[in-house]
Amino acid sequence: MLTLKGKSVSSGITIGPLALFHRNTISTAVRPIDDAEAEVSRFQAARAASISQLQSLYEKAVEKVGEEQAAVFEVHQMMLDDDDYVDDIVSQIRDEKLNAEAAVEHTAQNFAAMFRGMDDAYMQARAADVLDISRRVERELCGGEGIDFSAYDQVIIAADDLAPSETLQLDTDKILGFVTSGGSTNSHTAILARTLGIAAVVSTGTQLHNDVDGKTAIVDGTTGTVYIDPDEETLERMKKRQDSEIRRRQELESVRGTESITRDGRHIDVYANIGNPDNLSQVLSNDAEGIGLFRSEFLYLGRNTYPTEEEQFEAYKKTAQTMAGKKVIIRTLDIGADKKVDYFNLAPEENPAMGMRAIRICLTRPELFRTQLRALCRASAFGTIAVMFPMIISTDEVRRAKAILQDVQRELDEQGVKYDSHMEVGIMIETPAAAVMSDELAKEVDFFSIGSNDLTQYTLAIDRQQTQLDAFFDAHHPAVLRLIGQTIANGHKEGIWVGICGELGADLALTETFLRMGVDELSVSPPAVLPLREKIRSLDLKK
């Protein structure tokens, strides 16, 4: 038995045959060329064909996993149109007389090395993207056939890493799990596994070879452990755990349709977090009582231009109508930090997590902010929408944001456009500054929503995407919990409700702690709704 230890990106246990992921061989060897311009034309034709393929893949992926996950194919098209990338390849063909295949490969490796050398974990992960688009162009140049993805049926995929396009072309209904020797918890493979609920372990550090192909494997996504060719004792033990998990999911059905109320009668709103309207089916199927965080920035990602007012209005309207009167809290755009968009033309920053992002962009680009607020207000006529401003550190920011909102509403009044004049306005508490000043901030808004991910990052001074610091990162740190408790208490003193919409909201080990602090709402990923409701219903806060 071979036991591997990696990083868990999606919980659950899966058992099945291991299938090594095989890519077609591409030759990028250097060979002499006679006509550089003909070689440039050959590269441009391969690039155009690759862009066309990516557009087709995008359209298929939208139907399969929604726009948020499919956006990677739009990003890849943009990367193939990047002037620096294209010019580097063309100059190598013309100046160094390299054949197109070799020029693409040299550029791919140089760009990938550049991304890997960056401090930001998100940018480091982009190395996989530039290699992915380059492989596609190289395959076109070599005239090779694509990978036969249909060959992977009811297997656990094992690979060094899976490129975004490879992951999304797999028939995930037939994939039992993923195991990769490389990759990160921020990779597209990891994101897809979490979205679809497929057990996955990445970064095992062990490259697997043909001698294990077809052997039975167990992926324990809960502990990040992989067993290959397990002995009878291990197999039996893991089958029992798998059966237990299946029974557990069946047991959770008993709380579907019930109230999220403690034994002593305390009701807690259990809402869901989403990125766009494509996630609404998950919200409904998991019986969430509302939407506590609509990450509106996903409407801005994977595009070449800003979304129009009408595009945003239709997305917010659809969400409000689908939720049929249940509350929908929409966070204004939180671009910046790990969410980079080229057309925003943000200046490079040494520490983007503490730079120009979220409300800071909105207040320095008021016309961009006004467009989003107009769409939000107009959509509020079709349901129960609340607006929430992120990354607040002062009362001045809140007042300035509210002033712009009020000006937009006056404009809508003059135009005779309907909107909910009683729409709630809240803020994210995700900086220590906001938590410490929560007594003053509570006087300005209708609610607080605590973003525990960033609050933990900024309180502990640890980049939450820097995996090398995992040993130092403690989401249960007393300082973080004190700030959360202080925020809830200060909010209640001013008569406003307080929720939590970060990862800690789904941490069942802290549910009772949060309820005793007095939290009013918890917003979690859709699959976490029923386990959280069950936990709440088991508690008696009088004891």
| Contacts of residue 523, Cβ cutoff 8 Å, sequence gap at least 6 | 270, 271, 272, 273, 291, 292, 293, 329, 449, 499, 500, 501, 505
Q: From the candidates 76, 362, 377, 501, give the one annotated as an active-site residue.
A: 501
Phi, psi of 426 (to 5 degrees): -135, 180
Residue 182 CA to residue 207 CA, distance in Å, equals 9
127-139: string of b/e by CB count within 10 Å (b at 16+)?
A: bbbbbbbbbbbbb
Instruction: Quote the CA–CA distance of 295 and 369 in Å, as a whole number.
Output: 15
C-alpha distances out from residue 491 to 436, 446, 521, Å: 12, 9, 13
The verdict on whether 422 is a catalytic residue reads: no
Total Cβ atoms within 10 A of residue 254: 11
Contact 420, 316 (CB under 8 A): no
Instruction: In whole angstroms, give the CA distance from residue 187 to residue 195.
Output: 12
Task: Classify the phi-psi angles of 183: left when phi > 0, otherwise alpha if psi is within -120 to 50, otherwise beta.
Answer: left
Q: Which helix H or strand E contains 482, and what residues bound it?
A: helix 478-493
- Cα distances (angstroms) measured from residue 124 to each of 56, 127, 334: 27, 6, 21
Q: Which residue matches tokens 């306005």?
A: 425
Dihedral sign computed on CA atoms, order 276, 278, 282, 285 = positive
Residue from 76, 188, 362, 377 carrying the catalytic annotation: 188
Active site residue 188: yes
Active site residues: 188, 501
